Amino acid sequence: MSNESVVVEQQGAIRLISVDDGRANAFSPNLTAAIAAEVSAAEADEGTRAAVISGRATVFSAGFDLNIIKEGDPVAIRAMVAAGGALVRQCYGASIPIVAASRGHAVAAGALLLLGCDQRVGSDGPVKIGLNEVAIAMTLPGWALAIARERLSKRYLQRCVVNAHLVDGSGAVDAGFLDEVLPADEVVERAIAIATDLAGSLDPGAYAGTVKAMRSDVLAEMDASVAHGLATSGNTTRGQG
């Protein structure tokens, strides 16, 4: 799906997927579908061995589209959330490594997308990262709980999920949302360097097979949750919101 907020650049074996809607990079159905399409295209391209997903300079993503949430249509909301889950699951189960470059805030669905990426580079500045759903009267869906349990530190899991605690860059490393932090203007370059190293050092077939074997239980749990969300929204096409 074409979306002017998603720009793709090929750098050798690395596909850089830059997301910038000029606002908060909110995961509307169209934006989610556009990112998912680019991840699929990267996987399908034999010359691409890894991908980087980069957000705006100030925000990786602030979560789902609040306009749709405020409209209050439960069917539309369930469809949007399920599509977001399908994207996070797609990244976590991708046949190539996915690296996240988060220079700014990453909240709610934005933080969940970080959890779906192999490695995550963030800013050491005064950013906010985490799952604030409980604080804004929302309950995390099953797919989100599955990836949170898998990727977050057990020391932070209850606090970050149940208590909606947000962390800064260094706190996000400790909690498990990020792997390392740098000055914001170095984040994308570092993410590309990590992706380049993974592309050159990992055997593609062995990587894909190991992901399938090691992550299968979590992926299956996420699949079931996404399928339920799509079914209850009347949409049976995964990832299309």
The pLDDT value recorded for residue 125 is: 87
pLDDT score, position 239? 36
Q: What is the pLDDT of residue 235?
A: 59
Whole-angstrom distance, CA of residue 150 vs CA of residue 144 = 10
Buried b (16+ CB within 10 A) or exposed e, 54-72: bbbebbbbbbbbeebbeee
Mind listing the pLDDT tens digit for each residue in 101-154? 999 999 999 999 999 999 999 999 899 999 999 999 999 999 999 999 999 999
Within a 13 Å sphere around the CA of 122, how many CA atoms are in the beta-carbon half? 35
Among 9-13, 104-108, 231-235, whose mean pLDDT is lowest? 231-235
Q: Which residues pair with 16 in a beta bridge?
A: 9, 52
- The Cα 156–Cα 170 span in angstroms is 13
Question: Quick one: 200 exposed, middle or buried, by C-beta within 10 A (0-12, 13-18, 19+)?
Answer: exposed
What rounded mean pLDDT belongs to the chain? 94
Q: Mean pLDDT throughout 170-197?
A: 98
Domains of the chain: 6-185+197-232 (3.90.226.10)
With a cut of 70, say whether residue 182 has pLDDT above it.
yes
Question: pLDDT tens digit string along 26-84?
Answer: 999 999 999 999 999 999 999 999 999 999 999 999 999 999 999 999 999 999 999 99
**Does residue 233 have a pLDDT over 90?**
no
Tell me, what's the pLDDT at 232? Answer: 82
pLDDT of 241 strictly over 50: no
Question: Do 122 and 55 form a contact (C-beta atoms < 8 A)?
Answer: no
